[in-house]
Amino acid sequence: MSGPVYNFAYLDEQTKRMIRRAILKAIAIPGYQVPFASREMPMPYGWGTGGVQVTAALLGADDVLKVIDQGSDDTTNAISIRKFFARTAGVATTTISTEATVIQTRHRIPETPLHAGQVLVYQVPIPEPLRFLEPRETETRRMHALAEYGLMHVKLYEDIARFGHIATSYAYPVKVNARYVMDPSPTPKFDNPKMDNCPALQLFGAGREKRIYAIPPYTSVVSLDFEDHPFSRYRFDAPCALCGAEDAYLDEIVTDDKGSRMFVCSDTDYCESRQAAGHRGSESAAPHKEGAHG
Amino acid sequence: MYVAVKGGERAIENAHRLLAHERRGDRDVADISLAQISEQLALGVDRVMSEGSLYDRELAALAIKQARGDMIEAIFLVRAFRATLPRFGATEPLDTGTMLVRRRVSSTFKDIPGGQILGPTFDYTHRLLDPELAEGFVPELPAAAEPAAAAAPRVTDILGRDGLIEPSPTADPEAAVGDLTRDPLGFPAARDLRLQNLARADEGFLLALGYSTQRGYGRNHPFAGEIRFGEVEVGFFAEEVGFAVPLGEISLTECQMVNQFKGSATEAPCFTRGYGLAFGQSERKAMSMALVDRALRARELGEEVLAPAQDEEFVMSHSDNVQATGFVEHLKLPHYVDFQSELGLLRRLREEFAAAQTAPPLREAAE
């Protein structure tokens, strides 16, 4: 039995062309979900097969790739995907947001503002923002075609009536380019404002659901809200315990079984570069670099 | 002190090493060969080929070995490999009427041209554990007879001659065959794509759906018109020579269900069809597929769509076990960013709730 030989960045060139055509269409119609013939990838559905296919179609030999999961470069799945492309495409990888040309992400947008020329690739589980209101694809496609988004506003209104707030804290729906309501993938709503008028290209890949969508650079992205209940970011009460950042999304770390907790940046690159620049938090004596990788 | 909660490269590598070790099991026990899997766990290999959509016994056996006997994991391995293969084209339509039949039963006629052939089946075995099989058992050689001279015509063709069953739609030879692995699926889906989806679908899912139609959720009164298993030649039209050349033989199980009548003011009533096809000997799969295929034809046949098995979007969107297992199992990936925002929201809601409880009650409205 002879071992199979795989193409640059794993996918064959025909498949990449098919994906690139879907990406181009997605860029031309911001926020619209373009169906594409998603392939079975060598990692399971739900592990980021959509993002991986988009990244595979984008990568060139001189690209620099960063992969994050939950904001971190060294979560197991981020490492696994980064290694996959390091092996199959031989591209340079980095953990530094500003150095990367392509950043694949699951559940976060980096804290460091993205710049023109960068591409942010999101892994998307359920691309359809209306799915939990209407399970049928035939119906939701019609609703998008007619820009019939009343149902979504009713849902948000019902949240306010019941809880006093819009009770969606992640995957918070947005309207792109004043036309399509779009699911930003399960990023916390804290990240939503970063999508608006962003200089980088934002691409969204949903492998199992076979959809690609996009936000071209400098496109308006508005989180859905009401005049008397405007969109608000989730605020943390404490600064990052390691770098003192007050403007970053934080992970809550349970430190013992007696209810002690600390809050640290979820974006590890942001936190580490702030610490390197001399910023300190309440727990700074214990830098959390892991020695195993590099 | 901040404890390291993030994973690491070394952790992944060590986990893979441990997995390889566990896969091998006790090293004093002989390593299992692919030939042993292919020959002695043949029905498992058939299932992996069917749901993996790749007819290759050796690769399917390797996948089963690599997956430690986890069938869905083995199917996934085969699918991921299949996705990288180039497509040369589509074969000529198979003619299962020319099948070299190894097993063939009809529940609708006592005797049929070509005869009923029981073949290798569990059907009339008594399910008593057989301790003799545990080691070194050498079975008797099977009884042999001259192969039947005439091919066995399909039972549905016999019914079809009298118009008692609806004709099979004839394929347009010029039209391309749909392929949901190459084109994104849209709804409503044509029957070719539905059948492709069902052929790749999880056997257990189809079994449960087919069963549900028998229990009244979309009942369609099925009879097993015919189930046949055997070898069929695969032909491929080669441009260079201008005719179809045989590529070889594959083993298939075909099930033709004969279902309740359909008729109208203008059309005489006739039986309707449900179709199932699977690689190897996969009767449960082929029969379940035929039941679900018929159920999914509800709209086409003017029946009310009420049951899950009749609902095309529901069935086709959830039938693929590689997709299903991926999305279910992805819940074990970290979700702490989302969970954190839910936690924040919940805490705020609880604070507001507590504040409202301690606040002086509103004066009740006048009675």
| Residue-wise pLDDT tens digits, A86-111 | 999 999 999 999 999 999 999 999 99
Pairwise CA distance, residues A220 & A253, whole Å: 35
Long-range interactions of A13-19: CB distance < 8 A, separation 24+: A15/A39, A15/A53, A15/A57, A16/A56, A16/A57, A19/A53, A19/A54, A19/A56, A19/A57, A19/A212
> Nearest residue of A to residue B183 by CA position?
A37
At A45, list the tokens. 């559905």
Burial of A153 (0-12, 13-18, 19+ CB in 10 A): middle
Per the CB < 8 Å rule, is B76 touching A44? yes
Per the CB < 8 Å rule, is B340 touching A72? no
Per the CB < 8 Å rule, is A169 touching B344? yes
Q: What sign has the CA pseudo-torsion B309, B315, B318, B322?
A: positive
ipTM for this model: 0.83
The three-class DSSP label of residue A141 is: helix
Residue pointed to by tokens 């016994």: B57
Per the CB < 8 Å rule, is A164 touching B349? yes
A198 counts as catalytic? no
| Residue-wise pLDDT tens digits, A51-86 | 999 999 999 999 999 999 999 998 889 999 999 999
The full length of chain B comes to 367
Per the CB < 8 Å rule, is B80 touching A255? no
Q: What is the CA radius of gyration of chain A?
A: 20
How near does any CA of chain A get to the CA of B58, in Å? 9
How near does any CA of chain A get to the CA of B116, in Å? 40
CB A282 within 8 A of CB B367: no
The catalytic residue among A90, A243, A281, A291 is A243
CB A57 within 8 A of CB A75: no
Mapped to the 3 state alphabet, what secondary structure does B8-50 carry? CHHHHHHHHHHHHHHHHCCCCCCCCCHHHHHHHCHHHHHHHHH
- Give the global pTM: 0.89
How near does any CA of chain B get to the CA of A197, in Å? 24
Pairwise CA distance, residues B114 & A249, whole Å: 73
Nearest CB to A74 within list B8, B185, B348: B8
A80 contacts on B by Cβ (under 8 Å): 12
Nearest CB to B345 within list A10, A72, A169: A169
DSSP E strands in chain B: the ranges are 100-105, 223-238, 243-262, 270-279
> Nearest residue of A to residue B13 by CA position?
A80
| Residue-wise pLDDT tens digits, B48-63 | 999 999 999 999 999 9
Nearest CB to A40 within list B12, B82, B338: B82
Residue pointed to by tokens 């085969």: B78
What count of other Cβ atoms lies within 10 Å of the Cβ of residue B115? 12
Pairwise CA distance, residues B134 & B137, whole Å: 7
B62 contacts on A by Cβ (under 8 Å): 1
| Residue-wise pLDDT tens digits, A142-201 | 999 999 999 999 999 999 999 888 989 999 999 999 999 999 999 999 999 999 999 999
Q: What is the CA radius of gyration of chain B?
A: 27
